[in-house]
Amino acid sequence: MSSDDEICDRLLWLGLTDDKVKDTIKNESLTKLLMEMIETLQKNIDQNSKNLDRNIGKLVYQAATTSKTQIRHHLPMLIEYIAKQKIDSEPKLAAAIEYLLTNPTSVDVKEFETNAGVNVVITDEQISEAIAKEIEKNHQEIIEKRYRFNVGIIITEARKALKFADGKAIKTEADKQIQKLLGPKTEQDMAKPKKEKQPKPSKGIVVKEEECRDIIELLRRVNFHKIGENYKTDGYVITPNTMRLLAEHCKAVQGRVRTRFPPEPNGILHIGHAKAININFGYAEAHGGDCILRYDDTNPEKEEERFVHSIRDMVEWLGYKPYQITYSSDYFDQLYELAVKLIKCGLAYVCHQKPEELKGFNPPPSPWRNRTIEENLQLFETMKSGKMNEGEATLRMKYTMEEGKVDPVAYRIKMAEHHRTGRKWCIYPTYDFTHCLVDSMENITHSLCTKEFQTRRSAYYWLCNSLDVYCPVQWEYGRLNVYYTVVSKRKIAKLIDEGIVDDWDDPRLFTLTALRRRGFPSAAIRMFCAQMGLTGANTAVDPAMLEAAVRDVLNTTAPRAMAVLQPLRVIIVNLPPKSAPTYLEIPDFPADPNSTKHKIPFDREIFIEHDDFRSDDLDPDFRRLTPKQLVGLRYANCAIRLKQIHRRSDDNQIDYIEVEYEPIEQLKEKPRAFIHWVSNPLRVEVRLYERLFNHKNPEDPNEVPDGFISDCNRNAKTIIPAALVDISVKYGQIYQQFQFERLGFFSVDTDSSVGRLVFNRTVSLKESSTKT
């Protein structure tokens, strides 16, 4: 490349400002491309002209920054058209680039010129007529709104009518004609519009307009490529057979989006996988397509059938039904044949370097890289027949990945039994070899994966094109991470082995089975993933954000009940001792006037929380029951007043209290607070959970020098063996959620049995500033 001064001079000659030149030369690839384009441009203009037409320079720069790699071989032709001013506007250039992207291999000059608007001249009269036509359509609204009318409507419609018209000319004409219609702006036109008062929202969840809470709606907005237009995406490589292969692919999928979710069946899915499931299945659903659940079972030593079932269970729990369920092992025969083909193409070789030699980014070059094709074929067959030991040889591809990894492994020897194919194979393909080829075989339209695979995208395309098979498009999105937890399979296994958690579905974990067991509704996880958006940036969030989504969903789906965790027995002395209990009708959702209801008994003996009673009146801010202060009972339409405290003789602790009840309508003043209570209750076990780790990043040695195990909160689980709950939950089913009033949301645990219910606290309620 030329010297820096010469580069700057050429960019200034093109018409760039000093600041633009400084920004441009920071981008080496763009600068190199511009130098090539300027050289071509200079061959097509008057050599005696010292100054370049400003519009030509602007269009050349636009062509450099907006054209994609796959049409770079057409740039000399494009520059020639710009230089001769056959393409003389941004709309024409954009149309020309779009045509070339659609026809990347061969160009019909006549068709190209028609599509690019060559020789099309839009006169001022045409622009004036188009604007006048649109103003006439909107005349009444313009008169009413005057200068507050959205002139963009007129400009948009005029540009549709005059595809190759200059955008600035259209806007100038629109402003001119509107001013002629309305006259000069008045003081009223220039005054800031008064904001209309919005009605106060009703109680409940308030949704911001810009916030997307539905994953399907979010994915309808995503700007991925259209089916069959793979060649228009950044970095896509076009070969002589690309268009034929794409046509065959489009016919196979019948115009429908097809994605896949490809987990390894060697562990339980976690919250990060929930984002992947929602994006892959959700994108297909949003566009009327299909999503395949594919088990990437190429590592036989770690795969188990129980994980296969668990993964499918979680996908269906999140609300998705796979179009097909496949396994990478379904394609082992075809993958082997493709490996042989790669060897025959001279693009793969058998290598004997040890795994430890290949670690890192600068391993020594393989001395076996230049073996003959015949020798590689024979050795690969020897690997397949089981005549070599594990680690003795691998099949490597002749390619350097973007991350710098040289000649990645395609096949390795594993003498382990596979969970599906048994002992048929002793060589297994790697992820780098399998992933893109199975995507191709399954005609995946959009290969969606997390950001760390971006550096493998070029290898993905290289392998498909080297083997001359259909090449899908890989799109990457940012990973989802949650603070105060670990999701690594190895580390969760360590927590289980150490007895810190009980199993993969322990409610303190963030595996999907654990979240379901804790009571997190799948709808909340879908909402949470939607709220995170879809960007290329990795996201790390506090668990409180997920818990907020859980509250939003459960607030409208979990029926209310009353439970007492630390019971204090209360005798209402002014009710007859042997009277039958009164049954009260309680709404399942008190804020909903049309709510369903359940019945609970109200008897002479009730139970309240120990914390709702104090035996003295020392705290003036305490609002509940004291010797001098009565308290209301939720739903009972009465209050209770203390009469007597009974203490145990052995430790002087309160045994029970006696109270009198008074109907609310007979009270001179309303109680300062109303509390929950139970009568004739069920005895249940309740489990309360806190964060399992004390630091945001328990795996970070800077935060936790002694390792993640040392950061565990050993008191993250509290068991209350004898809590009391009202009889409305008696027939609660596993995973069914309830809101225990004033306490939080709770879910029926899998440890429950007939006559013995166990509840997990899913999340607490939002704290109230008045709860004292």
Same domain, 264 and 305: yes
Mean pLDDT computed over 748-756: 95
CATH number at residue 500: 2.40.240.10
Task: Give the contacts of 447 (CB within 8 A, at least 6 positions apart).
Answer: 259, 260, 436, 439, 460, 472, 473, 474, 475
Same domain, 694 and 576: no
Q: pLDDT at position 209, please?
A: 35
Q: pLDDT at position 772, please?
A: 53
Q: What is the pLDDT of residues 268-300, one digit of tens each?
A: 999 999 999 999 999 999 999 999 999 999 999
Q: What are phi and psi of 126, to 5 degrees?
A: -65, -45
Q: Which domain holds residue 74?
A: 4-116
Q: pLDDT at position 4, please?
A: 81
Mean pLDDT computed over 102-114: 87
Task: Walk across the sheet containing 290-295 and list its strands.
Answer: 258-261, 290-295, 324-327
Q: What is the pLDDT of residues 437-456, one digit of tens each?
A: 999 999 999 999 999 899 89
Q: pLDDT at position 675, please?
A: 97
Would residue 85 count as lying in a domain? Answer: yes
pLDDT-based confidence at 208, cuts 50/70/90?
very low
Same domain, 463 and 493: no
Q: pLDDT at position 195, please?
A: 57
Residue 92 is classified by DSSP as H
CATH number at residue 442: 3.40.50.620
Residue 551, pLDDT > 50, answer yes
Establish whether 396 is a catalytic residue: no
CA angle 124, 126, 127 (to 5 degrees): 65
Would residue 198 count as lying in a domain? Answer: no
CATH number at residue 175: 1.10.10.2420
Q: pLDDT at position 167, please?
A: 86
Q: What is the pLDDT of residues 650-694, one digit of tens each?
A: 888 999 999 999 999 999 999 999 999 999 999 999 999 999 999
Helix, strand or coil, per DSSP, at residue 238: coil
Would residue 645 count as lying in a domain? Answer: yes
Predicted model pTM: 0.83
Last residue of a domain, one of 621, 656, 677: 677
Same domain, 256 and 384: yes
Give me the chain's average pLDDT, please: 91
Same domain, 533 and 584: no
Same domain, 341 and 360: yes
Instruction: Name the residue with tokens 């520059």.
Output: 79
Contact in structure between 426 and 336 (CB atoms under 8 Å):
no
* Catalytic residue selected from 264, 605, 660, 699: 264
Q: What is the pLDDT of residues 501-537, one digit of tens each?
A: 999 999 999 999 999 999 999 999 999 999 998 888 8
Q: Which residues pair with 473 in a beta bridge?
A: 446
Instruction: Name the residue with tokens 């003789």.
Output: 649
Would residue 483 count as lying in a domain? Answer: no
Share of the chain above pLDDT 70, in %: 96
Q: pLDDT at position 203, please?
A: 36
Q: What is the pLDDT of residues 137-187, one digit of tens each?
A: 999 999 988 988 999 999 999 988 888 888 889 999 999 999 999 999 888
User: What string of DSSP letters covers 509-539?
Assistant: S-BHHHHHHHT--HHHHHHHHHHH---SS-E
pLDDT-based confidence at 361, cuts 50/70/90?
low
Same domain, 364 and 421: yes
Q: pLDDT at position 495, please?
A: 96
**Helices H / strands E in the chain, number of each:** 24, 26
Residue 47, pLDDT > 80, answer no
542, two tokens: 């506090």
Residue 372, pLDDT > 90, answer yes
Q: pLDDT at position 736, please?
A: 97
Establish whether 489 is a catalytic residue: yes
Q: How far apart are CA 427 and CA 416, in angstroms?
A: 10
Q: pLDDT at position 720, please?
A: 98
Q: What are phi and psi of 359, to 5 degrees?
A: -75, 155
Same domain, 177 and 247: no
Report CA torsion sign: 700, 702, 704, 707: positive
Last residue of a domain, one of 630, 661, 677: 677
Same domain, 749 and 632: no
Mean pLDDT computed over 191-199: 60
Same domain, 271 and 400: yes
* Catalytic residue selected from 86, 146, 489, 569: 489
CATH number at residue 93: 1.10.8.1290
Nearest to 477 by CA among 204, 219, 698, 193: 219
Helix, strand or coil, per DSSP, at residue 425: coil
- Cα-Cα end-to-end distance for the chain: 75
Q: pLDDT at position 470, please?
A: 98
Same domain, 537 and 430: no
pLDDT-based confidence at 759, cuts 50/70/90?
very high
Higher confidence at residue 564 or residue 361? 564
Q: Which residues pair with 646 in a beta bridge?
A: 656
Would residue 231 count as lying in a domain? Answer: no
Task: Give the contacts of 207 (CB within 8 A, at least 6 positions apart).
Answer: 213
Would residue 379 count as lying in a domain? Answer: yes
Would residue 216 count as lying in a domain? Answer: no
Q: Which residues pair with 51 in a beta bridge?
A: none
CB atoms within 10 A of CB 103: 17
Amino acid identity of residue 18, one-letter, is D
Establish whether 68 is a catalytic residue: no
Residue 211, pLDDT > 70, answer no
Q: How far apart are CA 569 and CA 645, in angstroms?
A: 11
Q: Are strands 744-748 and 758-763 parallel, antiparallel or unpaired?
A: antiparallel
How many structural domains does the chain have?
5
Q: pLDDT at position 67, please?
A: 86
Same domain, 620 and 708: no
Q: How far apart are CA 207 and CA 682, in angstroms?
A: 38
Would residue 251 count as lying in a domain? Answer: yes
Q: Which residues pair with 327 in a beta bridge?
A: 295
Last residue of a domain, one of 658, 677, 696: 677
Half-sphere exposure of residue 589: CA atoms within 13 angstroms, side-chain side: 14
Q: What is the pLDDT of residues 457-488, one digit of tens each?
A: 999 999 999 999 999 999 999 999 999 999 99
Mean pLDDT computed over 348-361: 86
Mean pLDDT computed over 396-411: 90
Residue 243, pLDDT > 60, answer yes
* Catalytic residue selected from 479, 604, 641, 672: 479
Q: How far apart are CA 750 and CA 757, in angstroms?
A: 9
Task: Give the contacts of 5 (CB within 8 A, at least 6 positions apart).
Answer: none
Q: pLDDT at position 207, please?
A: 32
Amino acid identity of residue 496, one-letter, is I
Q: pLDDT at position 770, please?
A: 42
Mean pLDDT computed over 40-55: 82
Q: What is the pLDDT of residues 694-725, one digit of tens each?
A: 999 999 999 999 999 999 999 999 999 999 99
Half-sphere exposure of residue 483: CA atoms within 13 angstroms, side-chain side: 13
Q: What is the pLDDT of residues 81-95, one digit of tens each?
A: 998 899 988 898 999
